[in-house]
A and B are shown apart, each in its own frame.
Chain A
Amino acid sequence: MAKYMLIMRGTDESVAKMMDTPFEQMLELMGRFNEELIRAGVLVAAEGLDDPSQGVVVDFGGETPVVTDGPYGETKELFGGYYIIDVASKEEAVEWAKRIPAMAGSKCEIRRVPGIDEFPQDNEWVVMERAWRERTGQL
């Protein structure tokens, strides 16, 4: 088994469509899909992000970090939320991603999430992170 993150990337087009969809309908659409993931026993975590215009970007391009308000770069393909699922293969992750009730124009990027076991276990920082994960139940 391996964990995969399904990264939701919206565009102006998909965000506009989402704004046009009644909130109740959005909740039902997403809720049904989430329920499927739960029932299949594969859902680990999921979060959606607030409006990108409310975000802040810290740019490390210069000598000191530069802080700007608003979205990161172009408004197209902005990171809007994610799922983490525990599945048998990349293909299964793709198959689930295809079922996301996403708005036209948006994209979903699928990336494997390496586990802490894949890092050197004798490294002191890995040991400390492992301890934190144990305390907080995130192993």
Chain B
Amino acid sequence: MVEASDGPPSAESARRAVEAVWRIESARIVGALARHTGDFALAEDVAQEAVAEALVTWSRDGAPANPVGWLLTTARRRAIDSFRRRSALDERYAALAGQLGEGEASSGAASRSGADDLLWDPDRVDDDILALMFVACHPVLSPEARVALTLRVVGGLGSEEIARAFLVPVPTVQARITRAKKTIAAAGVPFELPPAEDRRERLGGVLSVLYVIFTEGSTATAGDRLLRPDVAYEAIRLARMLTALLPDQPEVHGLLALFELTAARFPARTGPDGEAVLLEDQDRRLWDRSAIRRGQAALGRASMLGRGLGPYGLQASIAACHASAPSVPATDWERVVLLYEALGRVAPSPVVELNRAVAVAMAQGPLEALSLVDELVASDRLSGSYLLPSVRGELLIRLGRPAEARAELELAARLCRNARERSVLLRKAAGLE
């Protein structure tokens, strides 16, 4: 039974073993339990109880031969207990407890034949995981709750890891998850795939949760580190899972492509002291070529589906222009401008407008770009964002107007919340005379 070869089982080795299994199997375990009990919140609760029990039991006896079966059987027993407790109040639960308990007597303990045969339905696994993603990203939940729940049940991350990823206290994450489960129960959200007419919109919701997770890793909104690659990698992993589950959805491939192509630049985006390095100053030899290739392949799959690219696919196409360019001047800026125009039509936003202005500055010149930026300033749609004054400052430098540029960059630094980005802005401002 004991698998640890290096000495007796310990709390530490048990924790690592549980973590590894949970990371790989959480979605399937919670998905199978949720389908069987019809109760997502209960499924998550009993799965967490099984994990807690594993930490104790495995550190005493070593990890079992079939850890997944062990977790599943333990969680199922907890679910039966819960149904039995409730059956005093409602006979519906007694029936559920009976159904769930079937096979228990014949198979006995935590063997592969026990829980697996009963709960593991290979033909249903994909739908279970997909349903899990849709429930975790349900619109009744707050955006923060969707992120926490997705990382917990689909990604298999612990509360500590989620707290670290989003720089919030552990109790905050725990409270968010508890609250989210209560909300789902209160709203009567069923554990099933959304009906066909809602599917498109709900998928958009799932993709935007993955996007938020990735963005947190690729440009931390707060704190003193610019990048947190592990957080971004979680989003990539989840996006890869989703492309396997929904291979005919162009935007899923588009999102994965965007992640891969953006992450490819991570090694060049920070300097030796963790400072931000702008695209124009990046050593392109440090870009991860394998990630670029994977991103281009994912973008190819999105295009091949023949339904046109959506917002994520278009952003990925822009990232692909940069990825295949040997330098900033040698970038196909005309194409980048066209892609931003298309993006502005399918997903209008002032940030897209601003990025289009940056591309226009490269393709046509800073004066044309400045007039676009000034339109944005006049429309007051990006007030409070450091991006607008920072771009305006850059354009003014290129136009040979250093005094105005300096004022803009200093304004941008005051508005910027990331310490690394702020220091770049201040250094640039100080260099202007």
Binding site for B on A (CB under 8 A): 1, 38-42, 88-89, 91-92, 94-96, 117, 130-131, 133-139
Contact = CB atoms under 8 A, between A and B. Distances in A.
Given A38-B244, A40-B24, A138 B16 contact: no
A137 B230 contact: no
B288 A91 contact: no
Interface of B: 16-17, 19-21, 23-24, 67, 229-230, 233, 236-237, 239-241, 244, 267, 285, 287-290, 292-293
Contacts of B23: 88, 92
B285 A89 contact: no
Contacts of B236: 41
Contacts, number: 56
A-side interface mostly: helix
Given A38-B244, A41-B237, A137 B289 contact: yes
A1 B16 contact: no
8 contacts: A1-B233, A41-B239, A42-B237, A89-B16, A91-B20, A95-B17, A133-B289, A134-B289
Contacts of A91: 16-17, 19-20
Contact of A92 (B20, B67, B233, B292): B20
Nearest to A134: B289
Given A96-B24, A131-B285, A138 B19 contact: no
Given A92-B24, A95-B21, A95-B24, A40 B241 contact: yes
Contacts of B237: 40-42
Nearest to A92: B20
Contacts of B293: 137
Contact of B20 (A89, A131, A133): A89
Given A95-B24, A96-B24, A137-B292, A130 B285 contact: yes
Contacts of B240: 39-41
Contact of B19 (A41, A89, A117, A134): A89
A95, A117, A133: residue with the most chain B Cβ atoms closer than 10 Å: A95
